[in-house]
Structure 1
Amino acid sequence: MGLDDLINKGKAAFEDNKDKIDEALKSEKAEELSDKALDGAANLAKKVAPDSADSKIDEVRANLDGKIGNQ
């Protein structure tokens, strides 16, 4: 089995389970995990970036949070 076969099987599995994947991304668990990951990434970015970037970092974090989870 070559790489193309694996990619095609992955695509087929995704298409067959699109509804389940979407449901999982909108779940409470996804919200909880994404909040932890986004908080950690935002806090790290705020530590290394100048203070003037904090509001932009918060804006990006909020935008990403709206795309994953259920809140």
Structure 2
Amino acid sequence: MGLLDNMKARIGPAKEKVSHLAQRHGGTIGHGLERAAKLVDEKTKGKYSDKIQAGTGKAKEAMDRLAHRSGRSPEKGEAPQAGETPRSASPPSSPEGPPPVS
């Protein structure tokens, strides 16, 4: 068993617990995110409102993914959820061989 397999095996139970907590306390977490965003926006006098709102939205989406997925990772061939990039995606490769001569 490799190092990555060992880490996945140890992280699995923690991931499930975090998912369970996100399911149980999603409303409270969302409310806390909104309050924190409002406070930061007030402290910065609205200078970064768009960035604060974008960050808050991403945090809420991540929490929702955790809560709805029940701690499991997407299966091979399964489409990622909104805002999520596929983990196995690799950049497009260039064609093999020398470049064409013109």
> What is the TM-score normalised by the length of structure 1?
0.60
Q: Which runs of 4+ in 1 moved over 4 A?
A: none
1:1-71 equivalences in 2 (<5 Å): 17-18=13-14, 20-27=16-23, 29-69=24-64, 70=67
Q: How far off its partner does 1:21 sit?
A: 0.5
1:15-68: per-residue Cα shift (whole Å, max 9, x none)?
5843641431441x3210111110110010010013230000001111111121
Q: Which has the higher contact order (CA 8 A, sep 6+)?
A: 1
Pairs aligned (count)? 57
Higher helix share: 1
Secondary structure in structure 2 of the residue aligned to 1:67: helix
Structure 1 distance, partners of 2:62, 2:56, is 10
- Cα distance in structure 2, aligned partners of 1:40 and 1:23: 22
- Cα RMSD over matched residues? 2.5
In 2, Cα distance between equivalents of 1:33 and 1:24: 14
**Greater radius of gyration (CA):** 2
How high is the TM-score relative to the length of structure 2? 0.45
